[in-house]
A and B are shown apart, each in its own frame.
Chain A
Amino acid sequence: MTAAPTGIGARVKRTEDQRFLTGRGRYVDDLALARPTYAYFLRSPHAHAKIRSIDTAAAAAMPGVVRIFTGKDTAEAKVGSLICGWVVKDKDGNPHKAPGHPPIAIDTVRYVGDTVAMVVAETASQARDAAEAIKVDYQVQPACVDLARALDKGAAQVHPEAPGNLCYDWEIGVKADVEAAFAKAAHVTKLDLVNNRLIPNAMEPRAAAADYDAGTGQYTLWSTSQNPHVLRLILSAFVLGIPEHKLRVVAPDVGGGFGSKIFCYADETLVVWAAPRVGRPIKWTAERNESFQTDAHGRDHVTHAELALDKDGKFLALKVETIANMGSYLSTFSTAVPTYLYATLLAGQYTTPLIYANVKAAFTHTAPVDAYRGAGRPEATFVIESIVSKAAAELKIDPAELRRRNFIPSTAFPYQTPVALQYDSGNYPPIIDEATKVSDYKGFEGRRAEAKSRGKLRGIGFSSYIEACGLAPSQVIGQLGGGVGQWEAAQIRFNPTGNVQVLTGSHSHGQGHETTFAQIVSDKLGVPLEQIEVVHGDTATTPFGMGSYGSRSLAVGGSAIMKAADKIIAKGKKIAAHLLEASVADIAFENGTFKVAGTDKAVPLGQVVFAAYVPHNYPITEVEPGMDENAFYDPANFVYPAGTQVCEVEIDPETGTTEIVSFTAIDDFGNIINPMIVEGQVHGGIVQGVGQALLENAVYDKSSGQLISGSFMDYTMPRADDVPSFKVGYKVTPCPHNPLGVKGCGEAGAIAAPAAVMNAVRDALGPLGVRDVPMPATPLAVWQTIQGAQRKAAE
């Protein structure tokens, strides 16, 4: 591939930013609908209560009220349950417990924020006024909130269908083999971790607007979705029973998702369902406090892990026990996150030959928990990279050295891990070498001493992560219980005048696909960037796509575009052969021009396209007119980005404040299409990871189940001044099985950073005798940890 200034590898400025930065983005809430109505959802103020009765009479009489719906209405209309699309089988082969999830609670509410009624009115404010006048008689019940106790005897029960609050008890690996290895170990490192619960907080809150055309029976839903086709499939085939072709889902500009907009929620379901009943379009936009309460949350694990090492520090076996929070109801992909996206990653970058993991998923009276940037892989990385650094500290082996000793050698790829995945490619030692160089690891002890002279505790931490992304081979997903295929679709449609529409099943909600995908097409077909338009997010216009999550858009969606481009070239060659009076075998395509090899006879692609639409001089008996090709791409394997991050912190022991003074990230994302966009993804990911490590924490009151961190006044989002300027770099081992040689970059930062930061914090506090610090390492947590260590030292 040749490197044109706008082609693959170029730092092209994001073409979509012009409209975003000038306020011309078009989001769901911007939509102007004729005679709109507005929905407001009355939500449960209790974590667990029986609904004795609901009285809507006074509310229905309020000004502007159009309709009020309760669980009685949806139950009578036989609205289906919201679904979980991934079946996880427990140790005994039984499918996970799947209690129903009615879009409006019928007789029981199960978390603060559970939907109790839907009010539709002439204005959003009137809908809310009326909702306040609805009288709900709740009989408050004890709530199960504390994950660590959720599976205990006597815990309040969330669903009768899931006794003991157990959704599944799942395992991977052979426990007996692992135990045998532990018996022979020279050293065992043990670790208890809590992976703190996070709230996604996309900048644009979730929104939905629906319209029903009684003339055609056609529904349209505008939704803040990362995957409009998947949403259509769930709503039509599983929940509402609308024929799929009668439901159009449009996801216009979407302001961030981070996973939280993958899922099918009650809100959009109800807006679609109610549209024909109201007879007018309905709009709903979440208020920020609703986002806090009802967006699917992320992470939330309690884990005990043990690592067995031989006398040389080689890893012999890893054993992990995790309780994962599912929340009150199973969100769309919730069951897969702590199993197939978590335990299968526990080999990390290492040759650990034996791994056993047991995951118990628990129901609690909290918001549903599902995929959030990284989904399972940050949790796995946090376990592995924490325990490896702890082992290094215990054995007094340099943490970089211990990692090097255990890396999978570059000659071992493709590498079969003991936890199902086969890594396709990678070369880890040069990455950590570069990371130690860029972070001046050698000079660290000098900096630690200098910090000490100022009364500060300085620490350094590593995190060498692996991730499996680019979801992924459909066959494997199916074998693991996934309910959908995981290919991607693309269509390249030339117009007669030579400009191009690229229709993709991926969805951009901040990632910059309009630029990256156009660069691929520009590079491959030699069409100037300005003549390429990337179209996504509308089931009526784009080919069926699986959407964007799991860092799959480029590796899978981009590969589909490559395949479609190959078809364009193949067809173009036939037309060019006719125009140039040569044989197809002699036609070569280069820089946007078809040439007869070894001659100066050539015809540009634009002319070939024109001939395809105005086929006056055309091989019409062999080739169809038009230049419009589509392709589906199902990958052969996941892609496996990997890298090493090095974080350096300084802690003020008087206040417990942690400052990140330096942060290095060296990643292998395979080939890079647009380095500027990739850096943006890495920066954003690291900031989210730093957020988890030091700042963000979703806290529910342990007895009442109220969300204490329910606004930005209490939920600490990272700000620009919380992070230093990052040092990022790349090492490239191209992916061997996709046509672009690319791996994903969207989640890497968030996957690796929590462990890097926490290892640095632990290292800083190590001299005080501290071995672990709770995450997030807030000033309070660090101060309390220091106090505890000082008390212990004084004893």
Chain B
Amino acid sequence: MYDFAYHRAKSAADATALLKGKSEGRAMAGGMTLIPTLKQRLARPSDVVDLAGAKDLAGIKAEGGGLTIGAMTRHGAVATSTEVKSTIPALASLAGHIGDPQVRNRGTIGGSVANNDPAADYPAAVLALGATINTTTRKIAADQFFKGLFETALGEGELITSISFPKPEKAAYVKFPNPASRYAMVGVFVAKTAGGVRVAVTGAGPGVFRVKAMEDALAKNFSSAAIKDIKVPTDGLNSDIHGSAEYRAHLVGVMARRAVDAASK
């Protein structure tokens, strides 16, 4: 990796101050994506601000019937939290299937969502549950947050502080892992919420997206039979050695039906 200056932030405010004016500054959560990127010399930050010591960024709170999860909360903590398991079990289960134990003990919800890897699991939950991303400067609705490949609505120096999830009536996430990386090749999060049914797909395209046709069908009849004949167009879907666009489109249907069945149990 190239040389950079390393800073340890004590709080979100401290981190913001440390990043201020550093156009090549980068926040570091668990480093699960950032460090490999540095090692492969794909990034050349001038400064790295480690958020690990920012106590105000971690933790899980019950709030307004839903949950607010601090940006620095590790996947392992979400997976094992009794609070999450009782309020949104689908979210705990999603977190429990990210990577391997080492990754789950380092990787964070804030880092994952800020990074917006097109194959990451959390973005599907954030979008399907209609979560709110709380940052150091504002609140951003999930529908406005994810912008295409590795891009988000976050501005320069803006940090995610936490994410607020409303409690769904029913929800489930089913993932078809990429055989090699075990990120989502196709992951579908289905949620029946007060605001309606939402179906979010990760892994299949350049970023997480919703499937309106399925949402409409499920709003009328929340059963896997209701979406049996809905085909996802292959336009714009990813195609690589592990899955063609056709295969991914097909898997969206299969995973969606399995998610609906799981949510209905």
Name A's B-contacting residues (CB within 8 A). Answer: 125, 128-129, 132, 289, 654-656, 695, 697, 699, 708-709, 712-717, 778-780, 783-784
* B22 close to chain A: CB less than 8 A: no
B241 & A784 in contact (Cβ 8 Å cutoff): no
B244 neighbours in A (Cβ, 8 Å):
780, 784
- Residue pairs across A and B with Cβ atoms less than 8 A apart, 30 shown, are A125-B1, A128-B41, A129-B2, A132-B41, A655-B251, A655-B254, A656-B247, A695-B179, A695-B180, A697-B241, A708-B241, A709-B180, A709-B241, A713-B181, A714-B180, A714-B181, A714-B240, A714-B241, A714-B242, A715-B180, A716-B179, A716-B180, A778-B179, A779-B176, A779-B179, A780-B242, A780-B243, A780-B244, A780-B247, A784-B247
B176 & A712 in contact (Cβ 8 Å cutoff): no
B243 neighbours in A (Cβ, 8 Å):
779-780
B180 neighbours in A (Cβ, 8 Å):
695, 709, 712-717
A779 neighbours in B (Cβ, 8 Å):
176, 179, 243
B139 neighbours in A (Cβ, 8 Å):
none
Q: How far is the CB of B242 from chain A (nearest CB, A)?
A: 6
Q: List which B15-71 residues lie within 8 A (CB) of chain A.
A: 40-41
**Once bound together, how far apart are the Cα atoms of A713 and B117, in whole Å?**
13
**Once bound together, how far apart are the Cα atoms of A712 and B40, in whole Å?**
14
* B250 close to chain A: CB less than 8 A: yes
The residue in chain A whose Cβ has the minimal distance to the Cβ of B251 is A655
B179 & A783 in contact (Cβ 8 Å cutoff): no
Given contacts A697-B241, A709-B180, A779-B176, 6 further A-B contacts (CB under 8 A): A128-B41, A712-B181, A713-B180, A779-B179, A779-B243, A780-B243
**Once bound together, how far apart are the Cα atoms of A778 and B181, in whole Å?**
14
A709 neighbours in B (Cβ, 8 Å):
180, 241
**Once bound together, how far apart are the Cα atoms of A708 and B243, in whole Å?**
14
**0 or 1 for each of B233-244: is its CB under 8 Å from A? (1 = yes):** 000000011111
**Once bound together, how far apart are the Cα atoms of A654 and B228, in whole Å?**
13
The residue in chain B whose Cβ has the minimal distance to the Cβ of A657 is B176
**Once bound together, how far apart are the Cα atoms of A580 and B41, in whole Å?**
74
Q: How far is the CB of A517 from chain B (nearest CB, A)?
A: 36
**Once bound together, how far apart are the Cα atoms of A129 and B176, in whole Å?**
39
The residue in chain A whose Cβ has the minimal distance to the Cβ of B253 is A654
**Once bound together, how far apart are the Cα atoms of A317 and B244, in whole Å?**
40
**0 or 1 for each of B212-246: is its CB under 8 Å from A? (1 = yes):** 00000000000000000000000000001111100
Q: How far is the CB of B4 from chain A (nearest CB, A)?
A: 13
Q: How far is the CB of B245 from chain A (nearest CB, A)?
A: 11
The residue in chain A whose Cβ has the minimal distance to the Cβ of B40 is A289
**Once bound together, how far apart are the Cα atoms of A778 and B180, in whole Å?**
11
Q: How far is the CB of B112 from chain A (nearest CB, A)?
A: 16
Q: Per a CB cutoff under 8 Å, which of A132, A655, A713, A784 touches B176? A: A655
Name B's A-contacting residues (CB within 8 A). Answer: 1-2, 40-41, 176, 179-181, 240-244, 247, 250-251, 254
The residue in chain B whose Cβ has the minimal distance to the Cβ of A708 is B241
**Which 6 residue pairs are nearest across A and B when measured between Cβ atoms?**
A716-B180, A713-B181, A716-B179, A654-B254, A714-B180, A699-B241
Q: How far is the CB of A717 from chain B (nearest CB, A)?
A: 8
B241 & A783 in contact (Cβ 8 Å cutoff): no
The residue in chain A whose Cβ has the minimal distance to the Cβ of B181 is A713
Q: Is the interface of B mostly helix, strand, loop or mixed?
A: loop
B41 neighbours in A (Cβ, 8 Å):
128, 132
**Once bound together, how far apart are the Cα atoms of A225 and B186, in whole Å?**
42
**Once bound together, how far apart are the Cα atoms of A778 and B176, in whole Å?**
13
User: A132, A654, A697, A699 — which one has the most chain B CB atoms within 10 A of its CB?
Assistant: A654
A125 neighbours in B (Cβ, 8 Å):
1
**Once bound together, how far apart are the Cα atoms of A289 and B180, in whole Å?**
15
B254 neighbours in A (Cβ, 8 Å):
654-655
A783 & B250 in contact (Cβ 8 Å cutoff): yes
Q: How far is the CB of B168 from chain A (nearest CB, A)?
A: 26
**Once bound together, how far apart are the Cα atoms of A204 and B1, in whole Å?**
21
The residue in chain A whose Cβ has the minimal distance to the Cβ of B257 is A654
A129 neighbours in B (Cβ, 8 Å):
2
B181 neighbours in A (Cβ, 8 Å):
712-714
A717 neighbours in B (Cβ, 8 Å):
180
Q: How far is the CB of B139 from chain A (nearest CB, A)?
A: 34
B40 neighbours in A (Cβ, 8 Å):
289
**Once bound together, how far apart are the Cα atoms of A699 and B244, in whole Å?**
15
A697 neighbours in B (Cβ, 8 Å):
241
**Once bound together, how far apart are the Cα atoms of A656 and B243, in whole Å?**
11
**Once bound together, how far apart are the Cα atoms of A213 and B242, in whole Å?**
51
**Once bound together, how far apart are the Cα atoms of A716 and B178, in whole Å?**
9
**Once bound together, how far apart are the Cα atoms of A784 and B248, in whole Å?**
12
The residue in chain B whose Cβ has the minimal distance to the Cβ of A696 is B180
The residue in chain B whose Cβ has the minimal distance to the Cβ of A699 is B241
**Once bound together, how far apart are the Cα atoms of A714 and B238, in whole Å?**
14
The residue in chain B whose Cβ has the minimal distance to the Cβ of A125 is B1
**Once bound together, how far apart are the Cα atoms of A128 and B242, in whole Å?**
32
Q: How far is the CB of A268 from chain B (nearest CB, A)?
A: 24
The residue in chain B whose Cβ has the minimal distance to the Cβ of A289 is B40
**Once bound together, how far apart are the Cα atoms of A716 and B243, in whole Å?**
13
A778 & B251 in contact (Cβ 8 Å cutoff): no
User: B40, B176, B247, B254 — which one has the most chain A CB atoms within 10 A of its CB?
Assistant: B247
**Once bound together, how far apart are the Cα atoms of A779 and B177, in whole Å?**
11
Q: How far is the CB of B30 from chain A (nearest CB, A)?
A: 18
**Once bound together, how far apart are the Cα atoms of A780 and B242, in whole Å?**
6
**Once bound together, how far apart are the Cα atoms of A695 and B240, in whole Å?**
15
**Once bound together, how far apart are the Cα atoms of A289 and B41, in whole Å?**
13
**Once bound together, how far apart are the Cα atoms of A778 and B40, in whole Å?**
28
**Once bound together, how far apart are the Cα atoms of A708 and B250, in whole Å?**
24
User: B176, B179, B181, B241 — which one has the most chain A CB atoms within 10 A of its CB?
Assistant: B179
A699 neighbours in B (Cβ, 8 Å):
241
**Once bound together, how far apart are the Cα atoms of A136 and B240, in whole Å?**
31
Q: How far is the CB of B243 from chain A (nearest CB, A)?
A: 5
**Once bound together, how far apart are the Cα atoms of A712 and B180, in whole Å?**
6
**Once bound together, how far apart are the Cα atoms of A780 and B181, in whole Å?**
15
Known: A655-B176, A655-B254, A714-B180. A778 touches B247 (CB 8 A): no
**Once bound together, how far apart are the Cα atoms of A715 and B247, in whole Å?**
19
**Once bound together, how far apart are the Cα atoms of A255 and B2, in whole Å?**
29
B242 & A783 in contact (Cβ 8 Å cutoff): no
A713 neighbours in B (Cβ, 8 Å):
180-181
Q: How far is the CB of B195 from chain A (nearest CB, A)?
A: 30
A714 neighbours in B (Cβ, 8 Å):
180-181, 240-242
User: B41, B180, B247 — which one has the most chain A CB atoms within 10 A of its CB?
Assistant: B180
Q: Per a CB cutoff under 8 Å, which of A289, A712, A778, A784 touches B242? A: A778
**Once bound together, how far apart are the Cα atoms of A184 and B139, in whole Å?**
81
The residue in chain B whose Cβ has the minimal distance to the Cβ of A695 is B179
The residue in chain A whose Cβ has the minimal distance to the Cβ of B185 is A779
**Once bound together, how far apart are the Cα atoms of A91 and B236, in whole Å?**
52
Q: How far is the CB of A781 from chain B (nearest CB, A)?
A: 10
**Once bound together, how far apart are the Cα atoms of A779 and B176, in whole Å?**
10
Q: How far is the CB of B240 from chain A (nearest CB, A)?
A: 8
**Once bound together, how far apart are the Cα atoms of A779 and B41, in whole Å?**
33
Q: How far is the CB of A721 from chain B (nearest CB, A)?
A: 10
B1 neighbours in A (Cβ, 8 Å):
125
The residue in chain A whose Cβ has the minimal distance to the Cβ of B180 is A716
Q: How far is the CB of B187 from chain A (nearest CB, A)?
A: 13
A778 neighbours in B (Cβ, 8 Å):
179, 242
**Once bound together, how far apart are the Cα atoms of A420 and B2, in whole Å?**
58
A784 neighbours in B (Cβ, 8 Å):
244, 247
**Once bound together, how far apart are the Cα atoms of A572 and B221, in whole Å?**
89
**Once bound together, how far apart are the Cα atoms of A103 and B137, in whole Å?**
57
A128 neighbours in B (Cβ, 8 Å):
41
B251 neighbours in A (Cβ, 8 Å):
655
**Once bound together, how far apart are the Cα atoms of A716 and B179, in whole Å?**
6
The residue in chain A whose Cβ has the minimal distance to the Cβ of B183 is A713
Q: How far is the CB of A316 from chain B (nearest CB, A)?
A: 40
**Once bound together, how far apart are the Cα atoms of A712 and B178, in whole Å?**
11
The residue in chain B whose Cβ has the minimal distance to the Cβ of A716 is B180
**Once bound together, how far apart are the Cα atoms of A712 and B179, in whole Å?**
10
The residue in chain A whose Cβ has the minimal distance to the Cβ of B186 is A655
**Once bound together, how far apart are the Cα atoms of A714 and B176, in whole Å?**
15
Q: How far is the CB of B114 from chain A (nearest CB, A)?
A: 20
**Once bound together, how far apart are the Cα atoms of A40 and B40, in whole Å?**
14
